[in-house]
Chain A
């Protein structure tokens, strides 16, 4: 399978202080990469750099991030607008707070789609219905007509995923997508992401501190600590047969349910 996204010796600094040091990895089409680490490990910084969301104090000071061979780091703001949303999707920890509370879901999705593409309301509606149907929403009509506060946290997050998939981007970045949700809801959101991969062959870069989520989703796992790569390999290798002391400590610290 073809490589779609690659990080090459990426170093990211905020105001001269490095937050990520010399991190390299690559993601193939349809692959799910889980990036795990504790707070301050630089895991979210990695995906913010790819999305161009480092702010004016942050910069990729060394190395490159390539999407289909094109540098995402040295992209002009104009090119960036064409790439974000269309080729790169992103979902956040709190999808609810990225919605405006006084407008319906449909109005907001329509507006963000219009920012990329001149599309009629009818065509948008058809596409949205089809997309939500494909992603297993029981009643697309009702969801599109509701206000964000009428939907549960899990539903908001699933809509966030659907919205990110409108243009069928090749890569979906997910920053702690389930960390604000209850466990019983978390499962629905993870299933939604797996469905996205099945339906569209999207590669997903999943940043989380929750080892259980990575174990349930990822093909490959990258473990980070203090801005550096600790271990990188297949899920089985990293989670079940970790080699580095830190990974072993991390795995041992996760409370596991004793079912037997």
Chain B
């Protein structure tokens, strides 16, 4: 089986005049199989956000390659890059800010479909179906981001991400701005969608190890731009090898 996402030796060095270069991500390699859920754990400054920005091609890597579905996407531009984005979608940390404040949720969800050439009626039907699949009613298509709660908005964001049936879903701290009871609902929703859409791979970025243990098949621990430990969450948590991982797990209350 071919990996949905493979990253080889990915590195990002930020150069600032008059200061030493910052190595935000340092030769990171990993791969993600269809249907797999891979967690990336790290605290602030560990480089996990920079890593995601490179994988989604919003930031150019200094070194290394990214393969999506077997195709190298590291140097893609314009139309080809937009084609690649149809196979990878993202759910952001702040649900309300991830929707255009002056457009309805329905507009946001249907945008990728319209860009892919779907007609008006088709987009409307599909948006309604997606909203239902994510536990909302079709009426939410007419609401604005500030009119709904954080949890409802994140459901809509998941609906938007799944609209063009991507192979890879990236969740960047997708539940950390939500209340715990809402977080639980969103995690349950993601689990349900994963079972329903066969082969959907999830890259789950979080700072909450307990949550990753609940949700992911495999976990990478990042520290200062490098992967310091990886394995099954249960194994990593019970028997951490790296001193940083040990300290991290000890400090959980």
The interface of chain A, by Cβ under 8 A from chain B, is: 38-39, 182-184, 186-187, 209-213, 215-216, 249-250, 252-260
Shortest A55–chain B CB gap in Å is 21
B209 touches A257 (CB 8 A): yes
Complex CA–CA separation, A182 to B45 (angstroms): 10
The interface of chain B, by Cβ under 8 A from chain A, is: 43-44, 150, 179-184, 207-211, 213-214, 234, 237-238, 247-249, 251-253
Complex CA–CA separation, A253 to B186 (angstroms): 11
A215 touches B234 (CB 8 A): no
Complex CA–CA separation, A215 to B252 (angstroms): 12
A257 touches B180 (CB 8 A): no
Q: A184-B248, A255-B213, A258-B213 are in contact. List 15 more A-B contacts (CB 8 A).
A: A38-B181, A182-B43, A183-B207, A183-B253, A187-B253, A211-B180, A213-B253, A252-B184, A253-B181, A253-B183, A255-B211, A256-B210, A257-B209, A257-B213, A259-B238
Complex CA–CA separation, A54 to B172 (angstroms): 35
Assuming the contacts A212-B252, A212-B253, A216-B253, asked whether A255 and B210 have C-beta atoms less than 8 A apart, the reply is yes
Which A residues are in CB contact (< 8 Å) with B253?
183, 186-187, 210, 212-213, 215-216
From A38, A186, A253, contact of B251 by CB (8 A): A186
Which B residues are in CB contact (< 8 Å) with A216?
253
Complex CA–CA separation, A258 to B234 (angstroms): 7
Shortest A210–chain B CB gap in Å is 8
Shortest B82–chain A CB gap in Å is 36
Which B residues are in CB contact (< 8 Å) with A209?
179-180
Complex CA–CA separation, A257 to B209 (angstroms): 7
Which A residues are in CB contact (< 8 Å) with B209?
257
Complex CA–CA separation, A258 to B235 (angstroms): 10
Return 11 A-B CB contacts under 8 Å, by A number.
Answer: A182-B207, A183-B252, A183-B253, A184-B43, A184-B248, A184-B251, A253-B180, A253-B184, A255-B180, A257-B209, A258-B210
Complex CA–CA separation, A187 to B249 (angstroms): 12
B181 touches A257 (CB 8 A): no
A255 touches B208 (CB 8 A): yes
Which B residues are in CB contact (< 8 Å) with A259?
237-238, 249
The residue in chain A whose Cβ has the minimal distance to the Cβ of B46 is A182
Assuming the contacts A184-B43, A184-B251, asked whether A38 and B207 have C-beta atoms less than 8 A apart, the reply is no
Complex CA–CA separation, A260 to B247 (angstroms): 17
Complex CA–CA separation, A183 to B207 (angstroms): 8
